[in-house]
Amino acid sequence: MKTTKIPTLFTILGLTLSALTVRGQQVVLTSIGQNGTLTFSSDYTNTLHKIQWVPQLAAGSNSTVWADLYSVNVTNKTTTVSIPMFFRVVAVTNNCALVGTWKWFNGDTNTFYADGTSKTVGPSGGVGHGLWQEMKGNLYALNWGSSYMDSVYLPTNGTSLGGYNQQGAHVTGTKIK
């Protein structure tokens, strides 16, 4: 009868991943199931967490490059997800003032998510998707997934923003939630 050294693999994973700290808060791995499940607890609830993976661990822990496997919205303190062989969990908080829903100058309603994606709903109900990125300070690059890209500045009040698209047209938005 052939036996698999699963406890050794779990020991390696446990040593590698047991004490992940993100921005001073902990994401704690509570169990790894033999059926490919991971259960973790997080001090961050009602936030996006990313399940990340790597095909193999590099010799030095600082040289391992982790990739996002998928994201999960965590609503409870304890969560169970399906996982590949190596993984990690990273909490993504909504510390960014851009995250939320905005009414745009042209009547669109734009929602910016913590994972860097956005959704646009036009006045007639049409839906579009895009990407956004914080550049420096309160400056953001918005890629609408079409031919339009905006550079906007969000003052510290966090309720209105303004900037220009790549053609020099002025754009503005007001946060509604």
CA distances from 7 to 11, 27, 32, 38, 87 (A): 6, 22, 10, 15, 17
Same domain, 78 and 147: no
Same domain, 22 and 84: yes
- Between 174 and 71, the more confident residue is 174
Same domain, 85 and 118: no
Structural domain count, the chain: 2
| % of the chain residues with pLDDT over 70 | 76
CATH number, domain at 124?
A: 2.40.128.270
pLDDT confidence tier of residue 6, bands split at 50, 70 and 90: very low
Same domain, 57 and 74: yes
> In the prediction, which pLDDT does 17 show?
41
Does a structural domain hold residue 1? no
Measure the CA–CA gap between 116 and 92, rounded to whole angstroms: 10
Coil vs helix vs strand at 3: coil
Does a structural domain hold residue 69? yes
Q: What value does the mean pLDDT of the chain take? A: 76
Please give the structure tokens belonging to residue 99: 């995250």
Same domain, 79 and 120: no
Same domain, 121 and 44: no
